[in-house]
Chain A
Amino acid sequence: MTSRDAAIGARAAEAIASAKTSHLRHGLRNRLGSIRNAAFFLRRRARPEWLEAEPRLAEFLDLIQAEASAGEVLLAEASAERGAGEPTDFGSAVAAGAATAEQEWTSAEPIAPGPVVAAPFLDVASAVKLVLDAAAALETRSFSVGAAELTVAWPGDGTDPRVEAAHRLLRAWGGRVAIDREAHVVRLALPVPA
């Protein structure tokens, strides 16, 4: 691996880590919001006689709401400090990580049969990992479909299970995937921001 490959790999890893962190923050805020709103419901639903019999019931329900709100604020502040108000979407995570290698591995041309265009800076495993990590980071995200295409090949027999997983994910999310099991080639049409 050349130093350039390493630098690109580092940027890809950073982009994916950023996407994962953003996704985690987003998920945590939603969970805290649900906890807070569930406590809000219980507080409203609690009968006066219950609250009278056990004053800590109201106190603790209020505490749950307050603590969940405080957690949400902490997460919002963490987002603001990073300058990332929202998660990078799946396409952005991939595109950002590989932006400098765009000339080598992206093409606006339609996929056509022909020689494999393997990404020079990524072996198959890391290319698919790039896709899968970004996918895992944003598993419930939706995104627009762009024109960039990543073509990868892999050695050995059969289909790499990670490719199959990527296949399923991309298809579910609107990406296009063509797998040639004979030639051991998978062509992934990556969704990237327009």
Chain B
Amino acid sequence: MTTQRILIVDDDAGGRMTLAANLELDGYEVVTAEGGAEAVRIVREQGPFALVITDFRMPEMDGLDTLRAIREVAPAVRIVIATGFAEESRVDAAVTEGAFAVLTKPICMERALRVLSHALAGPVVVVVDEAGDANALVSALNARAIDALACTLDEALASSRPLDGCVVAVHLAEESKLRALAARSGTRVTLVYVTNPRERMPRTCTVPGFVVPRPIDVPWLARTMAQARAAT
């Protein structure tokens, strides 16, 4: 099995070194960069990386600029943000542009290792809806480097891919299958029910989840997934 490679971007040497050491102890190959520009160069010259974890407030390039620049070089790479300032609008922009999760600094290493391990497992968001709507949402999510897959609940259950999100049209939501899906996954599945105008949630839908009207707000979904993943 190939060792997964992680790039850590942080201008703070202590944060960079301790995260790298702990990740290496878990068997990952780690490369570090002191800033966004160096990170982009490394991704270009030494890629591919399975994951990038970047500090947000850095001189020259902040986390959002770094995310955007890395995406130019490696569009599909998962990027985790680490920041002490989660309320910043630019952090929110990074999240809605598809940052996998936001870790609060100073980093709690046990949580960070869980979140990064989850990210490296390659979780997918399944979209269970009529083909047109499902494909449109999947495209929108993929454009933000959020892995998503249009399928039925049966296909999701049969799939071997790890999943941590399920967007399901209310009329296709089957209680028993949703419960089985949640049980099958090793992590919590964020469930989002999509409703049509004036459509009510059936009483049979008792699996906890968000209920949102169609068309689904993609930035909201990206934000919700990032929050859920950070709480893994």
Contacts and interface: CB of A to CB of B under 8 A. Distances in A.
Chain B associates with chain A: yes
Contact of B106 (A34, A41, A45): A34
B58 A37 contact: no
A31 interface: yes
B84 to A, nearest CB: 6
Interface stretch (B13-21, B115-123, B135-143, B174-182): B13-21
15 contacts: A26-B84, A33-B15, A34-B17, A36-B109, A37-B22, A38-B14, A41-B18, A85-B87, A86-B88, A140-B57, A140-B58, A140-B59, A141-B59, A142-B60, A172-B59
Nearest to A139: B59
Interface string A31-51: 111111110110011000000
Interface string A50-77: 0000000000000000000000100000
Interface string B166-203: 00000000000000000000000000000000000000
A33 B17 CA distance: 12
A29 interface: yes
B210 interface: no
B105 A33 contact: yes
Interface of B: 11-12, 14-15, 17-19, 21-22, 25, 57-62, 84-85, 87-88, 105-107, 109-110
Chain A contact-residue range equals 20 to 34
The 3 closest A-B pairs by CB, nearest first: A33-B106, A34-B14, A37-B18
Nearest to A141: B57
A187 to B, nearest CB: 23
A36 B18 CA distance: 9
Contacts of A45: 25
A100 interface: no
A64 to B, nearest CB: 12
A173 interface: yes
A38 B18 contact: yes
Contact of A37 (B19, B62, B84): B19
Contacts of A41: 18, 21-22, 25, 109
A107 interface: no
A145 to B, nearest CB: 13
**Which of B57, B61, B88, B110: most chain A Cβ within 10 A?**
B57
B116 to A, nearest CB: 13
Given A29-B106, A40-B109, A173 B18 contact: no
Given A140-B59, A142-B59, A142-B62, A30 B22 contact: no
Contact of A34 (B18, B25, B58): B18
A173 B25 contact: no
Contacts of B17: 34, 38
Contacts of B85: 85-86
Contacts of B59: 140-142, 172-173
A106 B13 CA distance: 38
A30 B105 contact: yes
Contacts of A85: 85, 87
A177 to B, nearest CB: 17
A29 to B, nearest CB: 5
A44 B12 CA distance: 23
